[in-house]
Structure 1
Amino acid sequence: MTLPLDEAVPPMDPPPSPPRRARSAGDPVKALLHRHRELCEHAVDPLEIAAGLEAHGITDRTAARFRHRDVFSLAEELYARTPRDGTPPAPPAGIPVHAKAVRGFGYALLPGALALGAAAAGVPWAGALAVLVTVAALGRPGRAAGGRFPAAVYLLAAAALGWAVHRHGTPLGTALAVAVAPGHLAGAVFAARARRRLAGSRALEDFADGVRPLLLGTLALYAAAAAGAAVLAGTTPAVAVPLAVLLLLTRLLLGHGAPRGALAAALALVLALLPVPAAPFAAAAGVLVPAVLALSRASAHAQRP
């Protein structure tokens, strides 16, 4: 006796489905791109992205988690993957770079010319004028460090220079005003060479190792120029040179928007107010270390409008 076919052969269970593949961990670079979309969309080149990532605490070691050997390689991928409608971002519109440099140097000559003219004319407020024009040459208030401390830095700079000129006479103020022009050149050369070194770097540590001696060499040359300005104005270089170096470092920290740079400059200027002979030298030495650390970061050299 035969059984019906459906009873003779028991129904077979459906074959087990193949194990579902575990979902991939996703695209970490895409997540990073989403997190820093504004930075990537407004960057002129990958170097700006690298500097911005470093400012957010991403180092070469962190880049390894995104399967990149360094921050620069990661920035290049972020730049390439940022949608731009087929056209690269245009650089900030405005006055050409060479015209800005010429105009800036012309402005840098004004403080020394005004201070020398007032001192030669024997006007009673020549020292105050020298302090005013020297402090004004530090830059634009509110531009640096996110606008957190620059107003206080300007007030402290005026107080420190006013106190020094009160103690040592108008020639000191004149020397500092004359030193504005070489200070402008020193800052411009340092910024250009640091930017060029940034373009040729492949690791943040290599960039920092190259920028530190560049900054120290720039300061040494500027100190020699400040000493010449002191001799020209008829004051002692022992006081004028430390104050001039302090002002140059303050200007660099403000102009490059270095993190916590304005605060370091403010503390050094407070130290310069102490009524002791070594105060200017101690203030310049005190701001040197934080300035070297801050200005050797790639984020301090991103292009700014």
Structure 2
Amino acid sequence: MTTPDIAGAAPLPGLRASNAGGAANAGGAANAGRRRGDPVKALLHRHRELCERAVDPLEIAAGLEAHGITDRTATRFRHRNVFSLAEELYARTPRGEVPQAAPAGPAVGPRALRGFGYALLPGALALGAAAAQMPGAGAVAALGTVAALVWPGRTAAGGRFPALLHLLAAAAVGWAGHRHGVPLGVALALAVAPGHLAAAVFAARARRRLAGSRALEDFADGVRPLLLGAVALFTAAAAGAAALAGAPLGAAVPLAVLLFLTRLLLAHGAPRGPVAAALALALLPTPAGPLAAAAGLLVHAVLALSRASAHATRS
């Protein structure tokens, strides 16, 4: 198993079942196992592929959570929480070779440096186009921003960034640029690099927090401040970029935060529906549209990114 690109990755195999269905299956497995005297055996058989591919118990814990198994459900299998249950499943899974666990922190290598270099390009191109007073400078800034700040690499379905969301993001940026001029496009383009760094730091620290947690609630309580801190830091960076470009803060900052949250959610395998709804809301011809969209998407991000399954190592 290879270490994923920190900006985004495909979800773990077999983790697309609904939470309700997963919880029902877990209860049935527990009852069946209890009748045989081994409540974990049936669960191990049901999730054998997940257990065999996992490089550590954390991946199994995240996968069980994605199937709707909570700490309360784990008590049916005679364990105090999902992490303890995952450790038994990991220990009881036969393996030909002992897999190497992926590092919790980011790998600072050529790939990471190349990604940061790409994140610098939109700002440089936008500044150059604006300084040269080139026709279409706003369009250059808009396209560069959407391509670099929103595009996370891969999404929950394992495919490329869906065309609908790409078009919605480009439309939101283009509409804002049309209303507020080239400075807003330049401000958004300048915010790409700090957005790239903030997303990478959040992913690394959340993964480290996952490695140190012993219960799902413990992880959720720890990762929420990390997310809010990352959003606050990026908001400050976006405000600085807007001031540098001479763009209105009330227009540039909410839209930048909306794009940043879009990147985070898609990079961590969140559903596309709420993201599409937020981007569509930003297209409404009202100054409050982007602000309301960013606020709504932040609430969704706090719920979605506080799940362990959003940060598990993926193949």
The 1-side partners of 2:310 and 2:152 are apart by 17
SS of 1:74's equivalent? helix
Structure 1 outlier segments of 4+, above 3 Å: 147-150
Q: 1:183-202 residue pairs with structure 2 within 5 A?
A: 183-202=195-214
Q: Give the alignment's TM-score, normalised by structure 1.
A: 0.86
Q: Tell which deviates more after alignment, 270-279 or 96-105.
A: 96-105
Q: 1:49-198 residue pairs with structure 2 within 5 A?
A: 49-85=60-96, 87-90=97-100, 97-99=107-109, 100-137=111-148, 138-140=150-152, 143-147=154-158, 150-198=162-210
The 1-side partners of 2:242 and 2:51 are apart by 47
For 1:122-158, what per-residue CA distance to the aligned partner results, in whole angstroms no more than 9, with x for missing partners? 11111111111111112256x2121588332111101
Q: Could you tell me whether the CA contact under 8 Å between 1:150 and 1:254 is conserved in 2?
A: no
SS of 1:188's equivalent? helix
Question: What is the CA distance between 1:24 and its match in structure 2?
Answer: 5.1
The 2-side partners of 1:91 and 1:152 are apart by 36
The 2-side partners of 1:27 and 1:114 are apart by 62
SS of 1:146's equivalent? coil
Query: How large is the RMSD of aligned CA atoms in angstroms?
Result: 1.8
The 2-side partners of 1:151 and 1:140 are apart by 13
The 2-side partners of 1:226 and 1:263 are apart by 25
| Change in CA separation of 1:140 and 1:294 when aligned onto 2, cut-off 3 Å | closer
The equivalent residue for 1:234 is 246
The 1-side partners of 2:129 and 2:41 are apart by 61
The 2-side partners of 1:218 and 1:36 are apart by 34
The equivalent residue for 2:24 is none
Show structure 2 runs of 5+ residues with no match: 1-33
For 1:72-119, what per-residue CA distance to the aligned partner results, in whole angstroms no more than 9, with x for missing partners? 11111111111111x222468xxx922132222111111111111111
Q: Could you tell me whether the CA contact under 8 Å between 1:108 and 1:181 is conserved in 2?
A: yes
Show structure 1 runs of 5+ residues with no match: 1-22
Does 2:283 align with 1:278? Answer: no
The 1-side partners of 2:237 and 2:116 are apart by 16
Q: 1:217-232 residue pairs with structure 2 within 5 A?
A: 217-232=229-244
How many residue pairs are counted as aligned between the two chains? 276
SS of 1:69's equivalent? coil
Identical-pair percentage: 77
Larger RCO (CA under 8 A, 6+ residues apart): 2
Q: Among residues 269, 284, 287, which one is paired with 2:297 in the alignment?
A: 287
| Change in CA separation of 1:190 and 1:118 when aligned onto 2, cut-off 3 Å | same
